């Protein structure tokens, strides 16, 4: 093969392999969840692998988003946090809003918010550079992910089947997160491992 042809072939292979390699690093349901290390609002570091053996929930959050407020003003999200952490589930609220964007908070502001709302996640992870959000391809607030004790992603998507900002729609909603956790903890397959998340777009840094 001529040198020019070899160079062209190598370039073509590289062009097609790079996107595949990049996608392989993002979260996919029924595949190992991407590892991460993140710092919470109290300055503590959390690595996913330190929670191997437990179910882990990731909840993308933006306190300025009406879809997020729906679940906090009503107490729905806090009730879920308390219910499942009480059963040994690790629950991380994740804030990926960039500095200056809606939903961005300092550690002190987030701690005040958690106290004011009586929220009960295991911790609130601050992700202002968006690395964790992009790793999981989180698109909305809320956007929910569940990782099983073996480190596999078993659910990704909406919190429930009522994609509105109206508090009244919580009553009678089918809560996908509770459904998935209940099934998985009982050793049953998750009936709907993926749904379309709804809410405000995550306010990533450009």
Q: What is the CATH number of the domain that holds 163?
A: 3.40.30.10
Q: What pLDDT, on the 0 to 100 scale, is given for residue 27?
A: 82
- Residue 69 resides in a domain: yes
- Residue 7 resides in a domain: no
Whether 7 shows a pLDDT value over 50: the answer reads: no
Q: What pLDDT, on the 0 to 100 scale, is given for residue 26?
A: 66
Q: What pLDDT, on the 0 to 100 scale, is given for residue 181?
A: 98
pLDDT, tens only, 46-81? 999 999 999 999 999 999 999 999 999 999 999 999
* Domain boundaries, position 89: 27-201
Domain count, the chain: 1
- Residue 19 resides in a domain: no
pLDDT, tens only, 145-198? 999 999 999 999 999 999 999 999 999 999 999 999 999 999 999 999 999 999
- Residue 51 resides in a domain: yes
Instruction: Record the pTM.
Output: 0.87
Cα separation values, 57 from 166, 180, 203, Å = 24, 11, 20
Q: What pLDDT, on the 0 to 100 scale, is given for residue 52?
A: 97
Least confident of 7-21, 51-65, 95-109: 7-21
Could you tell me what percentage of the chain is helix, strand and coil, using 3-state DSSP and rounding each to the nearest 5?
Answer: 35, 20, 45
- Residue 164 resides in a domain: yes
**What single-letter DSSP state applies at residue 41?**
T
- Residue 9 resides in a domain: no
Whether 1 shows a pLDDT value over 60: the answer reads: no
Considering only residues 15 and 133, tell me which one the structure prediction assigns the higher pLDDT. 133
Q: What pLDDT, on the 0 to 100 scale, is given for residue 3?
A: 37
**What single-letter DSSP state applies at residue 167?**
G
Report d(CA 15, CA 196) in Å as an integer. Answer: 30
> Could you tell me where the beta strands, DSSP code E, fall in the chain?
37-39, 45-47, 56-60, 90-95, 123-126, 140-141, 144-147, 153-157, 200-201
The DSSP H or E segment spanning 90 is: strand 90-95
- Residue 8 resides in a domain: no
Whether 25 shows a pLDDT value over 90: the answer reads: no
Cβ atoms < 10 Å from Cβ of 110: 22
- Residue 67 resides in a domain: yes
């Amino acid at each position: 093969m001529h040198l020019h042809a070899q160079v062209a072939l190598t370039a073509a292979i590289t062009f097609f392999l790079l996107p595949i390699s990049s996608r392989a690093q993002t979260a996919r349901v029924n595949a190992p969840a991407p590892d991460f290390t993140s710092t919470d609002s109290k300055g503590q570091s959390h690595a996913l692998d330190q929670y191997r053996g437990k179910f882990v929930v990731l909840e993308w959050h933006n306190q300025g988003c009406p879809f997020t407020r729906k679940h906090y003003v009503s107490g729905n999200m806090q009730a879920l946090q308390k219910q499942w952490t009480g059963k040994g589930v690790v629950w991380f609220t994740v804030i990926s809003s960039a500095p200056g964007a809606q939903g961005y908070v300092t550690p002190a502001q987030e701690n005040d918010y958690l106290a004011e709302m009586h929220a009960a996640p295991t911790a609130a992870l601050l992700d202002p550079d968006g690395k964790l959000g992009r790793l999981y391809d989180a698109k909305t607030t809320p956007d929910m992910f569940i990782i099983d004790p073996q480190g596999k992603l078993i659910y990704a998507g909406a919190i429930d089947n009522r994609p509105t900002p109206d508090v009244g729609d919580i009553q009678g909603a089918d809560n996908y997160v509770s459904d998935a956790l209940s099934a998985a903890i009982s050793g049953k397959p998750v009936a709907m491992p993926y749904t379309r998340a709804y809410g405000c777009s995550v306010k990533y840094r450009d």
